[in-house]
Amino acid sequence: MSPLSTASVSARLETQPVASVDDAADDPAIWRNAAYPAQSLIVGTDKRAGIHVYDLQGRQVSFTPSPRLNNVDLRDVGGSIGVLVAASDRQDLAQAQMAMFRLDTDTKGLVPLGSIAVGAGEAYGMCLWQRASDKALFGFVVLKDGRIDQIAIDTNGAVPTGKRVRSLKLGTQSEGCVVDDRTGILYVAEEDVGLWQFDASPDGSTIPTAIAKADGNEIVMDAEGVALAPSGSDGGYVVVSSQGDNAYALYKLPEAKYVGRFRINDGKVDGVQETDGIELMLGDFGSDFPSGLLVVQDGDNRPATQNFKLVSWADVVAAFGWAKH
């Protein structure tokens, strides 16, 4: 348990539990419906069974069987694909892959688009980056041993294709990652060590910069999910799941300076423990989430199976007073 002061918020809503028992729900992604924000969708993995789509009331609106998917991310790439959903695929523990889907925003279902081979090893974490300068799309697949393979993804055809353009490396087991589309900075959580950043550019430096240690203070290991609350051209916050004490650590951008931590405690719905994946998106998502939506995996949702909790960003801001920073 961290000795540092930790604020408290509660979730507004929660998703229906996943069907699989034990450690199953893992990582969420958010698609925001710009025209009708309250009709936005959440995509979440059940790493024992497949991938769910939920509405903002937490109701499951579709399910696509696909065993052994772990982390998930999405981007609106336009063209014939529209909203592309990518997930790290662990079906073959010796050969990492990215499973690809199209999110049909009318039917709210996922259309499988095949997979992209990544490289030798077990796929674990995954995140996407859409480069600001030219909208080029890249996937970062975090292998369980700490290697990070960067894949250039071509979405011009009916089915996405990709090729590995470089590999990065952390020393031990890593998973959670997110890329800041504005700045091209990749943030990766090395579970027992802490949070790092890399240059996401394919020709950039492969040397990581340490941001925070999982030393029992800011982050209590494991360091798990990573998410962004962007503001302006390079500001905002990085949020990291401090799984070891059921909390979340916060870092102010662009300098990634620690500013505090919070927990999601019991309220309208039960609190959150042992969070794996997290996702955060700012903007209007309707009356429950007027300034942004934080979705977190709940590792202990007993007596039901695991699920995802939905937290209003406005509640985090109110509890934490980030305007001071």
Domain spans of the chain, in order of start: 7-320
For residue range 163-181, list pLDDT tens digits in order. Answer: 999 999 999 999 999 999 9
pTM for the predicted model, two decimal places: 0.97
Residue 279 has pLDDT above 50, yes or no: yes
Q: Which residue has the tokens 């903007």?
A: 283
Residue type, 201: S
Which pLDDT band, with edges at 50, 70 and 90, does 320 fall under?
confident
- Residue 322: per-residue pLDDT: 58
- Residue 325: per-residue pLDDT: 39
The residues pairing with 50 across neighbouring beta strands, listed in sequence order, are 46, 65
> Which pair of structure tokens corresponds to residue 116?
């992209």
CB-based burial of residue 248 (10 Å sphere; 0-12 exposed, 13-18 middle, 19+ buried)? buried
209-213/50-55 β-pairing: unpaired
Out of 3.40.50.970, 3.20.20.70, 3.30.420.40, 2.120.10.30, the CATH code matching 7-320 is 2.120.10.30
- Residue 206: per-residue pLDDT: 98
Residue 321 has pLDDT above 80, yes or no: no
Residue 323 has pLDDT above 70, yes or no: no
Of 46, 117, 113, 43, residue with least CA distance to 82: 113
Which pLDDT band, with edges at 50, 70 and 90, does 324 fall under?
very low
Mean pLDDT of the chain: 96
Strand 95-104: give its sheet, edge to edge: 69-78, 82-89, 95-104, 109-120
For residue range 126-164, list pLDDT tens digits in order. Answer: 999 999 999 999 999 999 999 999 999 999 998 999 999
Cα 14 from chain centroid?
Answer: 17
Q: Which residues of 6-22 are buried (b: 16+ CB within 10 A; e: fewer)?
A: bbebbbbbbbebbebee
**C-alpha pair distances (Å), 127 with each of 145, 148, 186, 263:** 17, 11, 9, 24
% of the chain with per-residue pLDDT over 70: 99
% of the chain with per-residue pLDDT over 90: 96
The residue-averaged pLDDT of 243-250 equals 97
Radius of gyration of the chain (CA): 18
Which pLDDT band, with edges at 50, 70 and 90, does 67 fall under?
confident
